């Protein structure tokens, strides 16, 4: 059976025998995506079989039906491997989330099953009601929409934002404004919708050259002012290519616009955090609160072909105004804008945030060629003065590799897991490498 050879994954779990911990994983699969629990396989992936599959099947069915609320969708089948019977418990993603076991809802984190936090639990409630956070009723003071009205007039040829137009844009429901309307209003009262813009003078974030903090303004005005900050600090330069001069942006503006718009429309507004745009000498980082929305895997996100909007109304408004594309094109478009550049963007998915790294295509490091080799070594020496010999050794090895795993790093530095992870974390914190992925799929790349 191919699934056993490949080991446990986000959607496949092995158990030697039935235990009540299985119910946590049933909750997780029901809340997010289809999955399988294969019973009769031990931790070493050895097939041990199930002694009494009929009795075990009945025990599992009763345990699920008696302990998980609401009742999830599942089926149990059996199979024979190596002349031993195993049970395959298939759990299907449900519509009536949250699916709760012992008062808690669960989710998968790589190959582990963990309880969701308060914010994620509230998201599951919204999902079960077929709602998004931005569709909830806003109970605050009256709102004004001069900034949005101007954009709607210019882009959509609509003169005045009447109540009928607001209803068409889904900003009014049951004769009340919703959270999306509040976020788009002139004095945006949603405290978690801030954007922090910083231009650092150094790699270590010790010295700040410029800072702007955007709050209590429409999220579309935040978007526009962030573009102004970009234009202030990102240069357009000329480079020589053969006999010709070529004008090039340090970072493609269209890539920055796409990444910023995605951060605004897809971020988790229930988290007490804000979007951070950080500009360094060689890159821009955009950090958006909230991990991936329920129902999309990291692989699907990075592939850029599936999109599940977290804030449906805001997403539709940004689409109507021509700020974003609707059909899951964000990441693919960002990658496409870098096609003619000599560097590539990076996308890092964490449990509670997403980081997009847009490297400067004409930073000192990216323009170094063979004729500048001596300069490159001189600059590397300047940056590595505070690194240990073993850290420098690892960096030099990584120069010849597209990426590196923790296990490969162990072999290079000759240390065990704990020591190697400490070295890798040091290099990440110092800005020499970037961590991509999670769990056993984590890899490291040079910045």
Q: Which residue has the higher pLDDT, 351 or 258?
A: 258
Mean pLDDT, to the nearest integer, of 45-59?
95
Dihedrals phi, psi of 362, to nearest 5 degrees: -125, 30
Q: How confident is the model at residue 339 (pLDDT cuts 50, 70, 90)?
A: confident
Q: How confident is the model at residue 373 (pLDDT cuts 50, 70, 90)?
A: very low
Domain with CATH 1.10.10.10 in the chain: 372-446
Do the bridges between strand 244-249 and strand 404-405 make them parallel or antiparallel, or are there none, so unpaired? Answer: unpaired
pLDDT of amino acid 223: 97
Q: How many helices (H) and strands (E) does the chain have?
A: 17, 21
Mean pLDDT, to the nearest integer, of 407-417?
85
* Beta partners for residue 36, in sequence order: 12, 90
For residue 431, pLDDT beyond 90: no
Residue 302 has which token pair? 């990075």
pLDDT of amino acid 426: 83
For residue 164, pLDDT beyond 60: yes
Taking Cα atoms as reference points, which of 369, 348, 350 lies closest to residue 358? Answer: 348
pLDDT of amino acid 377: 40
pLDDT of amino acid 90: 97
Domain with CATH 3.30.565.60 in the chain: 195-307+325-365
pLDDT of amino acid 113: 95
Residue 250 has which token pair? 């340090």
Mean pLDDT, to the nearest integer, of 382-389?
61
| 216 conformational bin, left if phi > 0, alpha if psi -120 to 50, beta if neither | left
pLDDT of amino acid 376: 38
Q: Which long-range contacts (CB under 8 A, 24 or more apart) does 317-320 make?
A: 317/169, 317/171, 317/180, 317/184, 318/220, 318/261, 318/264, 318/265, 320/155, 320/156, 320/169
pLDDT digits (tens, 9 = 90+) for 180-229: 999 999 999 999 999 999 999 888 888 999 999 999 999 999 999 999 99
Residue 215 has which token pair? 């709050």
Residue 259 has which token pair? 């990444």
- The CA distance from 334 to 120, in Å, is 28
For residue 372, pLDDT beyond 80: no
Q: What percent of the chain has pLDDT over 70?
A: 90
Positive or negative, the Cα torsion across 229, 345, 236, 377?
positive
- Yes or no: say if 328 and 306 are a contact pair by the CB < 8 Å rule: yes
Q: Which residue has the higher pLDDT, 438 or 375?
A: 438
CATH topology (fold) of 372-446: Arc Repressor Mutant, subunit A (1.10.10)
pLDDT of amino acid 240: 59
Mean pLDDT, to the nearest integer, of 34-46?
93
pLDDT of amino acid 244: 58
* Beta partners for residue 136, in sequence order: none
- The enclosing H or E element of 415 equals none
| 107 conformational bin, left if phi > 0, alpha if psi -120 to 50, beta if neither | beta
CATH topology (fold) of 2-116: 3.30.950
pLDDT of amino acid 133: 93
Mean pLDDT, to the nearest integer, of 340-355?
89
pLDDT of amino acid 403: 83
Residue 251 CA: distances (Å) to CA of 58, 194, 231, 254, 342: 60, 23, 10, 9, 11
Q: Which residue has the higher pLDDT, 191 or 292?
A: 191
pLDDT digits (tens, 9 = 90+) for 321-338: 999 876 556 888 898 888
Residue 366 has which token pair? 């990216």
pLDDT of amino acid 184: 98
Burial class (CB in 10 A: 0-12, 13-18, 19+), 123: buried
Q: At what angle do helices 406-413 and 417-429 cross, to 10 degrees?
A: 100
Residue 447 CA: distances (Å) to CA of 82, 179, 324, 340, 363: 48, 38, 28, 19, 12
pLDDT of amino acid 294: 73
pLDDT digits (tens, 9 = 90+) for 55-73: 999 999 999 999 999 999 9
**CATH code for the domain defined by 195-307+325-365:** 3.30.565.60
Q: Which residues contact 14 (CB under 8 A, 6 or more apart)?
A: 4, 8, 37, 38, 39, 41, 42, 43, 45
- Of 11-25, 26-40, 138-152, 381-395, the one with minimum mean pLDDT is 381-395
pLDDT digits (tens, 9 = 90+) for 245-254: 666 788 999 9
Mean pLDDT, to the nearest integer, of 283-311?
83
pLDDT digits (tens, 9 = 90+) for 75-133: 999 999 999 999 999 999 999 999 999 999 999 988 899 999 998 999 999 999 988 99
Mean pLDDT of the chain: 87
């Amino acid at each position: 059976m191919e699934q056993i050879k490949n080991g446990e994954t986000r959607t496949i779990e092995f158990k030697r025998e039935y235990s009540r911990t299985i119910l946590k994983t049933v909750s997780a699969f029901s809340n997010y995506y289809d999955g399988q629990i294969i019973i009769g396989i031990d931790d070493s992936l050895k097939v041990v079989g199930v002694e009494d599959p009929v009795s075990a099947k009945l025990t599992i069915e009763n345990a699920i039906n008696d302990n998980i609320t609401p009742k999830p969708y599942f089926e149990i089948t059996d199979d024979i491997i190596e002349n031993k019977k195993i049970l395959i418990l298939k759990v299907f993603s449900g519509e009536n989330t949250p699916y709760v076991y012992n008062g808690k809802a669960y989710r998968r984190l790589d190959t582990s099953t963990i309880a969701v936090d308060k914010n994620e639990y509230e998201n599951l409630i919204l999902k079960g009601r077929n709602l998004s956070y931005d569709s909830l009723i806003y109970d605050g003071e009256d709102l004004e929409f001069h900034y949005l009205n101007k954009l709607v007039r210019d882009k959509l040829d609509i003169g005045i934002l009447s109540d009928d137009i607001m209803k068409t844009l889904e900003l009014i429901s049951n004769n009340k404004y919703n959270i999306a309307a509040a976020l788009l209003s002139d004095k945006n009262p949603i405290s978690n919708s801030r954007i922090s813009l910083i231009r650092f003078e150094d790699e270590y974030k010790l010295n700040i050259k410029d800072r702007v903090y955007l709050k209590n303004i429409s999220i579309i005005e935040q978007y526009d002012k962030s573009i102004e900050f970009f234009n202030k600090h990102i240069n357009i330069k000329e480079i020589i290519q053969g006999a010709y001069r070529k004008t090039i942006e340090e970072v493609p503006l269209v890539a920055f616009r796409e990444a910023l718009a995605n951060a605004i429309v897809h971020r988790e507004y229930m988290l007490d955090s804000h979007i951070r745009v950080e500009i360094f000498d060689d890159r821009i980082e955009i950090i958006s609160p909230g991990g991936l929305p329920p129902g999309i895997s990291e692989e699907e996100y990075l592939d850029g072909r599936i999109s599940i909007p977290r804030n449906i109304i805001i997403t539709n408004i940004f689409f109507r105004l021509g700020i974003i594309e609707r059909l899951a094109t964000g990441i693919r478009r960002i990658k496409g804008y870098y096609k003619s550049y000599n560097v590539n963007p990076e996308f890092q998915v964490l449990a509670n945030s997403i980081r997009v790294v847009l490297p400067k295509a004409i930073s000192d490091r990216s323009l170094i060629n063979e004729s500048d080799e001596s300069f490159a070594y001189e600059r590397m020496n300047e940056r590595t003065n505070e690194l240990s010999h073993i850290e420098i050794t690892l960096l030099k090895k990584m120069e010849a590799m597209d990426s590196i795993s923790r296990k490969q790093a162990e072999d290079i530095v000759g240390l065990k897991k704990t020591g190697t992870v400490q070295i890798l974390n040091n290099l990440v914190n110092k800005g020499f490498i970037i961590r991509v992925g999670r769990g056993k799929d984590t890899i490291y790349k040079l910045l």
